Structure 1
Amino acid sequence: MAKWRYLLASALTASFIVSAEEISTSSDVKQWHHSIEIYAQALNIRGSSTIGGLPPADVDVDPEFIMDNIDMGAMLRLEGIYNNQWGYYVDYSYMKLSGSAGLVQGASNNILKGRIDIRQGVLEAKGFKRYQYNIGSIDYMAGIRWWDNDIDTKIYKPGFTPEINKSLDEDWIDYLIGVRWIKEINKHWTVHTSLDMGLGSDTDFTSSLLTGARYQINSWSDLNIAYKSTWVDYENKGTFEYDTASQGFLIGWAAHF
């Protein structure tokens, strides 16, 4: 039920934004500017994870594994700014993986063979205030990062006995502060870098870095070429521990309206 409350809160926030736009936008001045971007990322995930009573295992997921085992994936970003001062930023990425896997047991370095199904969604929602400087514009941001993980495992110890079945449905919210720098180089190229960090009730630390450049294709669309990395150290003892870095290059296409 908790995840639905988070989604409802996001929907109410979006409704508030639309209402504010309808009230504040005059007929002859476009005070709101929006963009929607679809993107893909060559994702690498490295770190360690513990599920229930299973021993800690190293996490080592690369783009080849994801392409071989992905069932569904979606990455979308929505952004808007009012009068070039106040804005919002919503980013959602989702992937569903299934297949056979070999997990390295952290303590004894044994190989655990089995099948794993992973469904992971990560939602970022931020508000920001933009200021103009000689070096470019800087957005001061605050918001949340919501993690939603569903993991089903069927693991065999060495010798393929005994069989272990574990299912997990774990979601949590991290609270963030951050900054973003945007600088227009010329009429075609704009560079950008954003950094955030935060924590939650069970998260010791989380942080995200996004840096890259945008190429203006025409008056209403651009191409985003960037690198993104997200770190999280989450610990719900006895249930789920997740200490990983997810990183990789991404490419996206955005429409502005």
Structure 2
Amino acid sequence: MEEPSPKIAHVLARTGAHLARAGTVGRGLSVAEWSNRDNYARYDGPGHHTVSVYLAGGEGVVREDRDLRGGAPDKLCLLPAGHESRWRIGGPLRMFHLYVDPEEFAHRAVTAFDVDPRRIRLHDATFCDDPALAAVVRGAVMPLDWAEPGDRSALDAACHLLLHGVLRRHIDKEPGEVRAGLSPAARCRVMEMVEAHLDEALTLDRLAAEARLSTFHFAKMFRISFGLPPHRYLAARRIARAKSLLRAGQPLGEVALACGYGSQSHFNRAFKAATDRTPGEWRRWS
């Protein structure tokens, strides 16, 4: 079982909460099941979004910074990246967490809904009702063995269904048009090109041509649109693809070639720089 890496998981671990199990889903998603009782937690600007669903208990939980109480089984909490909150946990509880990297959140917003990620804001929601999401967690996520390779594809589908529901019902869209950055059409073309050609040497010139912009202007507009330069975006998508192939059991050499690395040694260095583990170590732990 792989320890979850997001900051909220680290905070919970320091409070004495018990991690029952955890797993990585790939493409910026990870999951955890926690039990906790009678302590405090404070979150200061985590760098990821958290979708939390109470599985048992929660009636004694208080969000002190907003003086909110009313937790119960199936209640949903949404904690956006960068938020701050203080919690008092009274009594026992058990909860599920889905951790979402903001880059993956933005990627899903573009690909599923063609929404400019700069125009959306995840709700900061506490003890709200969403029976559909709670049903997905209880019926599709919790019964799976997160460490069993045969359950990985089902876990991936269930977590992306959760994320889809969050994007449909729990975001605000800022009014008006975002004029800077790539147009929605150019954004989609470039993203589709990247996903279809991760096994190739994608140059900045080639991506700029797909967006029908000069190389200099494309690099500037891409960074405005995605919050990072093209080479970092491409590297992140290659690592995400590599994780999926590693979980599927493909040989390391084939994974390296499928993700655009010229050699297995280059792949090993890039993967370890991104995950702090070699591909083989990551596969054993995930």
User: TM-score normalized by structure 1?
Assistant: 0.30
The structure richer in helix per residue is 2
The structure richer in strand per residue is 1
User: TM-score normalized by structure 2?
Assistant: 0.28
Asked which structure has the greater RCO (Cα within 8 Å, sep 6+), the reply is 1
